[in-house]
Structure 1
Amino acid sequence: MSVRYSYQCYTTGDHALTFSFGDTIDIAVNEYILQLFHQYQRLRHPGIKDCIPAYTTITFVYDAMYFLSRKLDPIDTIQLLLAESLIPNMLTQKQTPERVIRIPVCYEADCAPDLASLAAIKGITAGELIQFHSSITYRVFMNGFLPGFAYMGKVHEKINAPRLSSPRQKVPAGSVGIAGDQTGIYPMESPGGWQLIGQTPVSLFDTNAIQPCLLEPGDQVQFYPISWHAFQNWSVQ
Structure 2
Amino acid sequence: MEHPPGFVDRDKTDHVCCLQKAAYGLKQAPRAWYTELKAYLLSLGFHNSLADTSLFTLCCGSDFVYLLIYVDDILIIGSNNGLITHILALLAERFSVKDAEALNYFLGIKAHRTSRGLHLSPKKYILDLLHSHNMLACKPVCSSMASSPKLTLHSGIPLSDPREFRKLVGSLQYLAFTRQDIVYAVNHLSQFIHRPTNDHLQAAKRVLHYLAGTTTHRIFFSASNCLSPSCILGCRLDWGHG
Give the TM bin, normalised by the shorter chain.
under 0.3
Q: Based on CA coordinates, which of the two structures has the bigger radius of gyration?
A: 2
State the TM-score, normalized to the length of structure 1.
0.26
Which structure carries more strand by proportion?
Answer: 1
